[in-house]
Structure 1
Amino acid sequence: MTRIQQYIFPDGPVASRSPHATTLRLWRERFLQRRNRLARLGFDEVFERMWELYLAYSEAGFRSGYLDVHQWTFERRGPR
């Protein structure tokens, strides 16, 4: 289990890969531009660093192909 799976999205899926690297880059830029608001909202430096790492890691992961997305659809066969 990665730190992202453990702390950011426990038991949660990751969304579609294709436009995500660009989206994550933009999110990280905006997050960093507004980081001064975090303390006023009650968040500490650990929170800030964790989210900056998550956004950078995810962008790099999607760009390199290390992170990917799968969607599964299950169907019950037969009578309920």
Structure 2
Amino acid sequence: MPKTKQKIEIEALNLDIQARARLAGKLLMSLDEPSVSEVERLWLDEAERRLDEYRAGKVQGLPAKDVFQRAIAE
């Protein structure tokens, strides 16, 4: 673990119980709500994975017309 992270961890553990609880709550909430950049990165990773599968012949594309007809029917 880099020294900066170690220092933060040590300082956090030395906080009083109420301050640690507040910090823990904030950290947990930050896990529930990914940032816009994180969501964009995840979608980019997914798009690249799908393109790789398509190019490798693992999946086949569908005509947009068929996709939209199916979506409307559902």
TM-score computed with the length of structure 1 as normaliser: 0.28
Structure with greater contact order relative to length (CA < 8 Å, sep ≥ 6): 1
Instruction: Point out the structure with max Rg over C-alpha.
Output: 2
Structure 1 or 2: more helix by fraction: 2
TM-score computed with the length of structure 2 as normaliser: 0.29
